[in-house]
Amino acid sequence: MGIQLGSLTIEDPVFLAPMSGVTDRPFRRLVRSLGGGMVVSEMIASGEMIRAAARSRRTSTDCAAEQPLIVQLAGCDPETMAAAARLNADRGAAAIDINFGCPVKKVVGKLAGAALMCDETLAARILEAVVRAVDLPVTLKMRLGWEPGDGAALRIARIAEAAGIRMLTVHGRYRSQFYAGTADWAAIRAVKAAVGIPVIANGDVATLAAVDRCLAVSGADGVMIGRGAQGRPWLIARAAAHLAGRPPPPAPEGAALLALVERHYEALLAEYGWERGVRVARKHLGWYAAGRPGAAGFRAAVNALTEPDAVRQSLRRFFLSPTETLAA
């Protein structure tokens, strides 16, 4: 059930969704270390990236340590986006994804993200410019449209295919919904029928049963999982194995869960430095704790702690049962 995008082979069509402020490098590395699936970078603002690169004259290969990485670009100017795509190609990206899905005012106000679903001429110019700029496969992530009934998904999907886009990911919501309501997987089926390139379904896929239902309803070639992987980075590997007919690796519990959370925590401190890392880690620790007894108290305690060692002690107390704590 793999997907071939140029020279990039995606063995398991299960993608970790790009989520700004969530799927940073430590999270992506953790997901990848658990096996299976494919990861996409957080959205990068094309213009800012080019300016930063010019300032620092960096020629670093940011993506090299994260092979293969699909890098997602946001923006509204074809040439700027093409330049950002080239920069990421030089840095070792495996593919470039373009964001036509972001609903946030700051982004759509600049005619980027989901606003591009309303401007077919500009959308086509951006897609063509980026495809022309790099030898890598270029993919597109979009929504169903701006609002129900506008028919944008089918028009943009056809424009994308004609521009040379190799794969589409469709979040089954309209921009007007932001994240409200439920994702409409059935509407993705019409997109799949309109194009010959692979289509990935996204939105509200958070369990293995939902993977099956979403694929059955949408007819898509794979799934992309976002919020369902928050606090459950193993879900991508489990879904990948499930789709491939391999036994899914078990979700970690007890000492194995603690070890995973600790690994994630240390990686965040290393990435951001301990002062900022302690703050960035809080949301992740809250997600790991969610649904477990005492989660609210744990969250409140960790959110008030500023010393990594104190957080480490809290993690051990919370994620190990009393007997395991005694034995440790």
What is the binding site for ligand FMN (CB under 6 A)?
17-22, 42-43, 72, 99, 101-102, 141, 171, 202-205, 225-228
Burial of 125 (0-12, 13-18, 19+ CB in 10 A): middle
**214 in active site:** no
CA 62 to chain centre: 17
Closer residue to ligand FMN (CB): 112 or 258: 112
Residue 113 DSSP one-character state = G
- Name the minimum Å distance from CB 321 to ligand FMN: 31
| Residues 6 or more apart whose Cβ sits within 8 Å of residue 283 | 22
HSE at residue 191, side-chain half, CA atoms within 13 A, is 36
| Active-site choice (76, 102, 118, 214) | 102
Q: Classify 184 in phi/psi space as left (phi over 0), alpha (psi -120 to 50) or beta.
A: beta
In this chain, which residue has its C-beta nearest to ligand FMN? 226
Q: How far is the CB of 78 from ligand FMN (least distance, A)?
A: 19
The answer to whether 240 touches 37, Cβ cutoff 8 Å, is: yes
Beta carbon nearer to ligand FMN, 142 or 269: 142
Pick the closer one to ligand FMN by CB: 187 or 258. Answer: 187
Residue number, 17 or 38, with CB nearest to ligand FMN: 17
Peptide bond into 233 cis (omega under 30): no
d(CA 184, CA 9): 28
* Amino acid identity, position 176: S
**Closest separation between CB of residue 160 and ligand FMN, Å?**
15
* CA atoms of 5 and 221, how far apart (whole Å): 13
Q: Cβ 144 to ligand FMN, closest distance in Å? A: 11
To the nearest whole angstrom, how small is the minimum distance from the Cβ of residue 312 to ligand FMN? Answer: 26
97, 73 contact by CB (below 8 A)? yes
As a whole number of angstroms, the distance between CA 55 and CA 50 comes to 9
| Residue number with CB closer to ligand FMN (47 or 203) | 203
Instruction: Report the C-alpha gap between 157 and 263 in whole angstroms.
Output: 40
The torsion of the CA quartet 4, 7, 11, 14, rounded to 10 degrees, works out to: -70
Please say which residue, 43 or 133, places its beta carbon nearer to ligand FMN. Answer: 43
CB of 99 to ligand FMN, least distance (A): 5
Nearer to ligand FMN, 98 or 289 (CB): 98
What sign does the dihedral 223-225-228-233 (CA atoms) show?
positive
User: How far apart are CB 107 and ligand FMN at their closest, in Å?
Assistant: 9
The catalytic residue positions are 102
